[in-house]
Structure 1
Amino acid sequence: MRMVDIIDHKRQGQELTDEEIQYFVDGVVNQTIPDYQISALLMAIYFQSMTTSEQTTLTMKMMESGDHLDLSSIPGIKVDKHSTGGVGDKTSLPLAAMVAALGIPVPMISGRGLGHTGGTLDKLEAIPGFKVDLSEEEFKDQVKQIGLAIVGATGEIAPADKYIYALRDVTDTVDSIPLIASSIMSKKIASGTDALIIDVKTGAGAFMKAEDDAVKLAEALVRIGRQAGLDCKAIISDMNQPLGHKVGNTLEIEETLDLLKGKGPADLLELVLTLGSQMVVMGKKASDIAVGRKMLEQTIEDGSALAKFKAMIEAQGGDPRVVDDYSLMPHAKQKVDFLAPRSGVISQLTADEIGVAAMLLGGGRQKSDDQLNYGVGIEVHKKIGEIVTKGEPVFTIHTDQDDLTEVKALLRASLMVEETAQAPTLIHQIVDPK
């Protein structure tokens, strides 16, 4: 078998065989295929796409190229959640605690952020002492004991994907749906869960800005998951404006805790309940979505979700006192209000510009080795469709910097105030392809 023939087959729009895909993945891992041939195949896939069968095979071969977790020793149906990412998206944190409070094991392997604000692991590390690097045995033991753990990847998960992604980044093939779907699912299947709900974002602050593209990606992810034996569904949710009111690592932990205390923002709660109700049904704890939603609401009312989150903090070495005393987490030295330039209705709050502003403050990474400032970020006081008066704070900048020229320019560009505007629909659709 020759790599040049595999490239030619895909360039002509042919379906690659399992053996050809295996040869390709082996060559990536063993470094026997040169970068220029890997890149050529990626470009051929970009233009010719892949069938669901090809995508599933590529996913499974990439997953098999490294370590994968065996969670069979953990009783119950293990349910996980994945998001394609967005600004202010701390959904995993309250969601995992609420679902676990209903007796559904939630073993969550998450990542760090690059660009915008930090990832889920970075947010958790704003809690003093919190450890995200657990061994595989520690991870499984914690899920057995308290039903919940959120950690970084243990071992070498999908090394083929890591190498392929680096080449996609420099060959302008990142936004290929088959390659995105295979990349995401190779890591999620390797994590060993039984069921998965996927939150695919769409809008200005999302990777998939057009809803049609978001739906195509969601369908590809679900089909791959199901072919691989996962119970899998997806939702399309809005990312035209930040989720919730706080963007930044400590700030997003605060908002997580507020939600678990029944004081969280309405949009974050709605997204958590939408995703979580699917997870409760997948975990066989509710017969339908409506029942699952009520059960999740009850975990906030009776305090069990907050208690579960606190138990996770303690189990992973964090200071559980932060649940009641937010001052124990890092905070910025100063707060600077950004005022509305005119009266009217907020018609635009471009999420990605707000996210970049938070990154420039130090809340996100421009390079993978950048050190985060956990305390900085941006508080969003008004959302799209809300009335604002000239001179009223729209944002509060939490900063350790004195020169905010670039940050303010981004916030100014993100904001539009008009005579009328409607709030965007948060949940666009449920994706459940037959």
Structure 2
Amino acid sequence: MSPVPDAVSVIAAKRDGRELTDEQITWVIDRYTRADGVADEQMSALLMAIYLRGMTEREIVTWTRSMIESGGRMDFSGLRRDGRTLATVDKHSTGGVGDKITLPLAPLVASFGVAVPQLSGRGLGHTGGTLDKLESISGWRADLTTAQLYSQLESVGAVVCAAGADLAPADRKLYALRDVTGTVESIPLLASSIMSKKIAEGTGALVLDVKTGSGAFLSEPGDARRLAETMVSLGTAAGVRTTALITDMSTPLGLTAGNAVEVAESLEVLAGGGPADVVELTLVLAREMLAATGLCDADPAAHLANGRAMDTWRAMIAAQGGDPDAPLPVAPHVEVVRAASSGVLTGLDAMAVGVAAWRLGAGRAVPGADVQAEAGVVLHAKPGDTVVAGAPLYSLHTRTPEAIPGAVAALDGAAVIGAEGQSGPLARPLVLDRVTV
């Protein structure tokens, strides 16, 4: 009989590079979640040991399963409309700058008669949060009961809301600890954090948008691919049809980074317009999601053009208390940053733009802090565009003008302007790779 685990022996085993047993993993996750025998400082030490030593595939599977089992699971198999069972599909992005794709994507996919249970989060640091963006819409609320969520999926087809407290509660505690211990960028910990919530959510299919580049958590494409492969493997093993796209986040998506400014841009996409890169990624992900539910021949571009996606958006916003016709908040202070020289914009650093938006009030430094709905950065040029000295490069939106100097400092050197005729580095395609089992 193996000895009963204890926190110190589990930490020491991983510190010394040994595989943790299933029993050790299930014990430490259970005890830490219940605050019974594993203190924050002990879990912090274990997380750092995992960050440095890594985990085997078996360890990651067991760690993820234990996080799922720390709470309840949702079951959407009984969703019905017009006498038929609704297929469910979700999308998860690992986070980036200007990544407002969920906003047009969820109603677009739902407009084909598919249920999209999009349990989303809030922003932290330079990456924006979907719930923060939607809360800039008058009256819209993120918190729904389980009954409200099910009802809205059956009647509207799309829900974007906060996850319930009982969904993988171990992840909630571990995420907060990772954020303050420098262990966020661990592939085993990232994969188990994301997939424990998505598997517990109960969706039938899942499409992952794994970002790489300066504005992503994993800047190296090789690391992003390893994360994608790990998550696809976890989802597939749990019976969720899972695919992943690896997408570029070296340049911000679209022309906005913030809250209300990103909602406005999403509405442009739903109306059949919007920036080309946002439209492209929305359509690519929509095709992946629809194919995962068996609708391989569906044309999502048609539903942007004919207004069906916009109709579903309006129904989704109204169902959650929002007024789809209400004007979006406008910042009382706008500072324009102008180009210092003429030429071709050959580079625009996503991280710098994200930090600037955060400093303007669009993001938060600590969980639970307030954000400004009006805050954000509006871009006036993207790489490949010709700029003229003195022309606007960015508009900085905020309700706190004292934040503007810090945002301007963050953007110093973010834009690289080459001479006319200079091509600069070759632009990467938006979708870099696709990962399946």
TM-score when scaled to structure 1?
0.93
Percent identical pairs in the alignment equals: 45
Distance 1:40 1:406 in 2: 34
Q: How many residue pairs end up in the alignment?
A: 422
**Following TM superposition, by how much is the alpha carbon of 1:221 offset from its aligned partner in structure 2, in angstroms?**
0.8
Show the counterpart of 1:230: 240
Distance 1:189 1:129 in 2: 30
Counting only pairs closer than 5 Å after superposition, residues 31-430 of structure 1 correspond to structure 2 as: 31=35, 32-74=37-79, 75-116=85-126, 118-286=128-296, 291-292=297-298, 295-322=299-326, 328-403=327-402, 404-419=404-419, 420=422, 421=424, 422-430=426-434
**Contact kept in structure 1, 2:191 and 2:230, CA below 8 Å:** yes
**CA 1:161 to 1:387, structure 2 compared with 1: closer, same or farther past 3 Å?**
same
Distance 1:117 1:40 in 2: 26
Show the counterpart of 2:82: none
The Cα offsets for residues 299-357 of structure 1, whole Å up to 9 and x where unpaired, read as: 111110000000101111111214xxxxx121111433211111111122111111111
**CA 1:131 to 1:168, structure 2 compared with 1: closer, same or farther past 3 Å?**
closer
- Amino acid in structure 2 at the alignment position of 1:407: A
The Cα offsets for residues 258-285 of structure 1, whole Å up to 9 and x where unpaired, read as: 0011111000111111111110100111
**DSSP-derived class of the 1:53 partner:** helix
- Amino acid in structure 2 at the alignment position of 1:2: P
**CA 1:260 to 1:29, structure 2 compared with 1: closer, same or farther past 3 Å?**
same
Structure 1 unmatched ranges of 5 or more: 323-327
**Contact kept in structure 2, 1:117 and 1:355, CA below 8 Å:** yes
- Amino acid in structure 1 at the alignment position of 2:264: E
**Contact kept in structure 2, 1:244 and 1:266, CA below 8 Å:** yes
**CA 1:219 to 1:373, structure 2 compared with 1: closer, same or farther past 3 Å?**
same
**DSSP-derived class of the 1:264 partner:** coil
Structure 2 unmatched ranges of 5 or more: 80-84
**Contact kept in structure 2, 1:56 and 1:228, CA below 8 Å:** no
- Amino acid in structure 1 at the alignment position of 2:317: I
**CA 1:131 to 1:35, structure 2 compared with 1: closer, same or farther past 3 Å?**
closer
**Contact kept in structure 1, 2:269 and 2:275, CA below 8 Å:** yes
**CA 1:158 to 1:248, structure 2 compared with 1: closer, same or farther past 3 Å?**
same
Structure 1 stretches of 4+ moved >4 Å: none
**CA 1:64 to 1:415, structure 2 compared with 1: closer, same or farther past 3 Å?**
same
**Following TM superposition, by how much is the alpha carbon of 1:13 offset from its aligned partner in structure 2, in angstroms?**
3.6
**Following TM superposition, by how much is the alpha carbon of 1:48 offset from its aligned partner in structure 2, in angstroms?**
2.6
- Amino acid in structure 1 at the alignment position of 2:240: L
**Contact kept in structure 1, 2:379 and 2:395, CA below 8 Å:** yes
The Cα offsets for residues 70-109 of structure 1, whole Å up to 9 and x where unpaired, read as: 2222122210000010111000111111100111110110
**Contact kept in structure 2, 1:354 and 1:410, CA below 8 Å:** yes
Distance 1:2 1:147 in 2: 46
**Following TM superposition, by how much is the alpha carbon of 1:117 offset from its aligned partner in structure 2, in angstroms?**
5.7
**CA 1:367 to 1:45, structure 2 compared with 1: closer, same or farther past 3 Å?**
closer
**Following TM superposition, by how much is the alpha carbon of 1:168 offset from its aligned partner in structure 2, in angstroms?**
2.5
Distance 2:165 2:42 in 1: 28
**Following TM superposition, by how much is the alpha carbon of 1:60 offset from its aligned partner in structure 2, in angstroms?**
1.3
Distance 1:407 1:35 in 2: 35
Is 422-431 or 4-13 further displaced after alignment?
Answer: 4-13
**Contact kept in structure 2, 1:117 and 1:249, CA below 8 Å:** no
**DSSP-derived class of the 1:297 partner:** helix
The Cα offsets for residues 26-50 of structure 1, whole Å up to 9 and x where unpaired, read as: 1111221233432333233223322
**DSSP-derived class of the 1:365 partner:** coil
Distance 2:127 2:26 in 1: 36
**CA 1:29 to 1:402, structure 2 compared with 1: closer, same or farther past 3 Å?**
closer
**Following TM superposition, by how much is the alpha carbon of 1:67 offset from its aligned partner in structure 2, in angstroms?**
2.5
**Contact kept in structure 2, 1:243 and 1:268, CA below 8 Å:** yes
Distance 2:11 2:221 in 1: 31
**Following TM superposition, by how much is the alpha carbon of 1:12 offset from its aligned partner in structure 2, in angstroms?**
4.2
**Contact kept in structure 1, 2:72 and 2:167, CA below 8 Å:** yes
**DSSP-derived class of the 2:216 partner:** coil
**Following TM superposition, by how much is the alpha carbon of 1:17 offset from its aligned partner in structure 2, in angstroms?**
2.7
**Following TM superposition, by how much is the alpha carbon of 1:6 offset from its aligned partner in structure 2, in angstroms?**
3.0
**Contact kept in structure 2, 1:52 and 1:223, CA below 8 Å:** no
**Contact kept in structure 1, 2:136 and 2:259, CA below 8 Å:** yes
**Contact kept in structure 2, 1:202 and 1:209, CA below 8 Å:** yes
**DSSP-derived class of the 1:122 partner:** helix
- Amino acid in structure 2 at the alignment position of 1:249: N
TM-score when scaled to structure 2?
0.93
**Contact kept in structure 1, 2:51 and 2:183, CA below 8 Å:** yes
Is 94-103 or 421-430 further displaced after alignment?
Answer: 421-430
**Contact kept in structure 1, 2:141 and 2:321, CA below 8 Å:** yes
**DSSP-derived class of the 1:321 partner:** coil
**DSSP-derived class of the 1:413 partner:** coil
